[in-house]
């Protein structure tokens, strides 16, 4: 079943529906009028538990599943807990995909990550560059788990002839992100750091690395729109990139965040900290050829994200790592 064939009563299970991407998906489908959305928080359903996951699928019988649950974190979290990242993500993926097959789910969209591409793959990153070179060491364990998920989706297509698909988003940010200063990804980490500096009246902010690494950033609500588009319009063995097709240096990102937050001091760089992959920009020509393009520019997306952060400071998700959204 493609989403275009679904009705407003089609049962759609969004794993990780309280996370960054999952909550954006929930907003998107709710706004479209879908009445049978299914979601469970990690405290209600531990997707690492094979028995509990299978029982949930048999009880709820989803018809479409979008896999937005994962254990995620930034460079520091990946470096400190690589065993947890590979173990948790492998179990989540296997349990969800096995349960989907066993209960006859019509269509599954599995979300990978742009970090699974080889560290020095040609830019922009094409889908056929997957598994052609060494991974970035700082997130190798997470990347290997995600590659296993893509491989499982392809294996299911071949063995069971089911229209399950995979997509690789670029760095995702937006409302309901993780703003913990030690474990978050670069956009929420910067928002938190510059905001705290403004509150303290600090004259300087120090950011990790040299600032010269280049990254592509995708607003979560745009990714949700792309996911719905792909469920309705895509059916292919190959994973497909989802992004803006443009990038900025991390230093340029810092200047944009500082401007949005209202920080007017000096930005310094801790060059002893890792930059990660030097350049990471996706080739999104295949997705654009299907008819989808992003809508939100970086400055507007950061403004919307910052406004959400300010409004939710007392309750934002600042935990160290979680099982509620894909890495970005």
Q: What is the dihedral of CA 154, 156, 160, 161, to 10 degrees?
A: -30
Asked whether residue 233 is domain-assigned, the answer is: yes
3-state secondary structure of 324: coil
Q: Are 239 and 193 in contact (CB under 8 A)?
A: no
Phi, psi of 267 (to 5 degrees): -105, 125
Q: Are 127 and 168 in contact (CB under 8 A)?
A: yes
Closest CA to 109 of 29, 226, 10, 26: 226
State pTM to two decimals: 0.92
Asked whether residue 54 is domain-assigned, the answer is: yes
Asked whether residue 157 is domain-assigned, the answer is: yes
pLDDT grade, residue 80 (50/70/90)? confident
Q: Tell me which H or E stretch contains 99.
A: helix 82-102
Asked whether residue 327 is domain-assigned, the answer is: no
Q: Are 251 and 187 in contact (CB under 8 A)?
A: no
Q: Which two tokens stand for residue 104?
A: 């006859």
Q: Residue 87 annotated as binding?
A: no
Asked whether residue 111 is domain-assigned, the answer is: yes
In this predicted structure, what is the pLDDT of residue 324? 38
In this predicted structure, what is the pLDDT of residue 322? 34
Residue-wise pLDDT for 248-294, tens only, equals: 999 999 999 999 999 999 999 999 988 877 889 999 999 999 999 99
Closest CA to 174 of 126, 116, 225: 225
Asked whether residue 46 is domain-assigned, the answer is: yes
Q: Tell me which H or E stretch contains 124.
A: none
pLDDT grade, residue 323 (50/70/90)? very low
Share of the chain above pLDDT 90, in %: 82
Asked whether residue 316 is domain-assigned, the answer is: no
Q: Which two tokens stand for residue 120?
A: 């020095």
Asked whether residue 10 is domain-assigned, the answer is: yes
Q: Residue 19 annotated as binding?
A: yes
> The domain that contains 59 carries what CATH number?
3.40.50.720
Residue-wise pLDDT for 209-236, tens only, equals: 999 999 999 999 999 999 999 999 999 9
Residue-wise pLDDT for 122-175, tens only, equals: 999 999 999 999 998 888 999 999 999 999 999 999 999 999 999 999 999 999
Q: Residue 113 annotated as binding?
A: yes
Output the CA torsion sign for 304, 40, 165, 32: negative
Q: Residue 170 annotated as binding?
A: yes
Catalytic machinery residues: 142
- In the chain, how many domains are there? 1
pLDDT for 178 beyond 70: yes
In this predicted structure, what is the pLDDT of residue 181? 74
Domain with 127 in it: 3-176+218-245+280-296
């Amino acid at each position: 079943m493609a989403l275009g064939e679904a009705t407003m009563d089609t049962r759609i299970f969004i794993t990780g529906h309280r996370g960054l991407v999952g909550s954006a998906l929930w907003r998107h489908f709710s706004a479209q009028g879908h009445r049978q959305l299914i979601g469970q928080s990690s405290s209600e359903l531990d997707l690492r538990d094979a028995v509990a996951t299978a029982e949930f699928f048999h009880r709820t019988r989803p018809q479409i599943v979008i896999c937005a649950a994962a254990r995620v974190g930034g460079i520091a979290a990946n470096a400190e807990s690589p065993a947890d990242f590979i173990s948790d993500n492998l179990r989540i993926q296997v349990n969800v995909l096995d349960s989907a097959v066993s209960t006859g789910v019509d269509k599954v969209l599995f979300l990978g990550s742009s970090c699974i591409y080889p560290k020095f793959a040609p830019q922009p990153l094409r889908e056929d560059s997957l598994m052609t070179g060494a991974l970035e060491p700082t997130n190798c364990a997470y990347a290997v788990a995600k590659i296993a998920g893509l491989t499982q989706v392809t294996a299911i297509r071949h063995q069971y002839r089911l229209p399950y698909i995979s997509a690789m988003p670029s760095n995702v940010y937006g409302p309901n992100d993780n703003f913990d200063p030690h474990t978050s990804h670069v956009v929420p980490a910067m928002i938190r750091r510059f905001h705290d500096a403004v509150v303290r009246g600090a004259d300087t902010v120090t950011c990790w690395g040299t600032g010269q690494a280049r990254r592509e950033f995708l607003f979560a609500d745009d990714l949700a729109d792309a996911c719905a588009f792909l469920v309705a319009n895509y059916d292919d063995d190959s994973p497909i990139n989802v992004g803006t097709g443009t990038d900025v240096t991390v230093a340029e990102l810092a200047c944009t965040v500082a401007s949005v937050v209202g920080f007017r001091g000096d930005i310094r760089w801790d060059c002893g900290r890792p930059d990660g992959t030097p350049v990471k920009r996706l080739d999104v020509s295949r997705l654009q050829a299907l008819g989808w393009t992003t809508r939100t520019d970086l400055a507007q997306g950061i403004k919307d994200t910052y406004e959400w952060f300010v409004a939710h400071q007392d309750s934002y998700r600042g935990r160290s790592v979680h099982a509620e959204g894909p890495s970005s």
